[in-house]
Amino acid sequence: MIDRETARLLSVVLDGFGYAPLECRNRDDVYKHLSSTTPTVAVVDTKMNESEEICSMIREHGGVSLVVLLADDENDPQEQMNHYQADAWESVGAGPEKLLLVLRKLAMQETEAD
């Protein structure tokens, strides 16, 4: 699971690229934020407790791109991405730069679809 320092660094980097990150440490945090705002993207660490339920809540909310962070040694990332109904995936150990590339790619796909 992403440690607090990595989460903080990721938040700073995402903020610098114009994203407004909200850190949710559990299902209740996700529910609280989804009831008051609609994010454009959600990044979920699949090693987090309740990750399946969290992804389901995000999907039910609608209009949110979902990126899942998978274990570094995941054998079949595409299968896991399908399992979580995610739009994209990245390795949990990939670092903020690679995650930003995934987010930018998603943003470009959404722009092309509009």
SS3 letters for the chain? CCCHHHHHHHHHHHHHCCCCCCCCCCHHHHHHHHHHCCCCEEEEECCCCCHHHHHHHHHHHCCCEEEEEECCCCCCHHHHHHHCCCCEEEECCCCHHHHHHHHHHHHHHHHHHC
The enclosing domain of 74 has a CATH number of: 3.40.50.2300
Question: Structural domain of residue 53, as residue ranges?
Answer: 4-113
Rounded to two decimals, the pTM is: 0.83
Question: What does the pLDDT read at residue 15?
Answer: 79
Question: What does the pLDDT read at residue 1?
Answer: 63
Mean pLDDT per 10-residue interval, the chain, length 114 residues = 75 77 86 87 88 93 88 89 93 81 80 66
The count of domains in the chain is: 1
Question: What does the pLDDT read at residue 41?
Answer: 84
Question: What does the pLDDT read at residue 21?
Answer: 77
